[in-house]
């Protein structure tokens, strides 16, 4: 939705990605969505006619299509991709390959722990395990440098990324 309201620059050099010029601020679509969600309660007899397989298909499609652009899933695909085919994104260029894979492994372990807790009788303690991810993340400071964590965590809201760090992407053969 945000990308549909984003105005990109048209004056960029060939090969460079366009820059964000402006984001149109409007609240109409959020209002319409809220109204439609409220009105959908009155359509429950009609919605009961929709087969569960159709609903599961819609939600599966929405879930799978939303994974593009999530750095964790991008890094998971880099586990099986040869180094020379890694994209020149900031976390690939700033962090050695083995450290990037180690960070991905640590995140996968955290995700598996949360999934197992959620799926068992220990689900009542799930919020405590989510809170336990905070010290888990702080513990990563003993394995990774602050610059590596900044690159692997991704940019925060409003943060401008500068690429004046060593290019480990070009040195990937030794990584």
Whether residue 90 is contained in a domain is answered as yes
> Who contacts 113 (Cβ-Cβ below 8 Å, separation ≥6)?
129
> Is the domain of 85 the same as that of 149?
yes
Q: In the beta sheet, which residues pair with residue 8?
A: 20
Segment (H or E) for 110: helix 97-119
> Is the domain of 9 the same as that of 88?
no
> Is the domain of 34 the same as that of 77?
no
pLDDT at residue number 62:
92
Whether residue 96 is contained in a domain is answered as yes
pLDDT at residue number 133:
93
> Who contacts 94 (Cβ-Cβ below 8 Å, separation ≥6)?
147, 148, 151, 163, 165, 166, 168
Check whether 160 has a pLDDT greater than 90.
Answer: no
pLDDT tens-digit map of 52-68:
999 999 999 999 988 88
Q: How far is CA 145 from the centre of its chain?
A: 21
> Is the domain of 94 the same as that of 147?
yes
Check whether 169 has a pLDDT greater than 70.
Answer: no
The answer to whether 39 and 31 have CB atoms below 8 angstroms apart is no
Q: Which domain holds residue 18?
A: 3-43
State the alpha helices, DSSP H only, in 11-89: 28-40, 44-47, 52-65, 71-78
> Is the domain of 101 the same as that of 161?
yes
> Is the domain of 167 the same as that of 113?
yes
> Is the domain of 27 the same as that of 113?
no
> Is the domain of 124 the same as that of 168?
yes
Tally of domains within the chain: 2
Share of the chain above pLDDT 90, in %: 41
Whether residue 8 is contained in a domain is answered as yes
In this structure, the dihedral spanned by the alpha carbons of residues 147, 149, 152 and 158, taken in order and rounded to 10 degrees, is -80
> Is the domain of 84 the same as that of 37?
no
> Is the domain of 14 the same as that of 82?
no
User: 84-93, 100-109, 131-140 — which is least confidently predicted?
Assistant: 84-93
> Is the domain of 93 the same as that of 133?
yes
The token pair at 25 is 């601020």
Whether residue 160 is contained in a domain is answered as yes
Check whether 78 has a pLDDT greater than 60.
Answer: yes
pLDDT at residue number 2:
56
Check whether 132 has a pLDDT greater than 80.
Answer: yes
Separation between Cα atoms, residue 126 and residue 147, nearest integer Å: 31
> Is the domain of 86 the same as that of 170?
yes
């Amino acid at each position: 939705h945000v990308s549909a309201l984003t105005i990109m620059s048209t004056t960029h050099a060939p090969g460079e990605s366009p820059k964000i010029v402006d984001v149109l601020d409007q609240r109409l679509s959020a209002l319409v969505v809220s109204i439609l969600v409220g009105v959908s309660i009155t359509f429950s007899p009609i919605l009961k006619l929709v087969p569960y397989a159709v609903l599961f298909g819609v939600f599966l499609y929405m879930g799978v299509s939303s994974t593009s652009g999530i750095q964790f899933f991008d890094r998971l695909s880099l586990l099986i991709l040869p180094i020379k085919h890694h994209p020149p994104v900031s976390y690939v260029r700033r962090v050695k390959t083995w450290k990037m894979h180690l960070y991905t492994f640590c995140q996968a372990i955290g995700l598996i722990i949360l999934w197992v807790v959620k799926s068992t009788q220990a689900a009542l303690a799930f919020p405590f395990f989510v809170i336990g991810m905070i010290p888990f993340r702080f513990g990563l400071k003993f394995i990774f440098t602050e610059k590596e964590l900044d690159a692997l965590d991704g940019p925060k809201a409003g943060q401008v990324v500068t690429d004046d760090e060593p290019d480990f992407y070009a040195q990937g053969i030794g990584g």
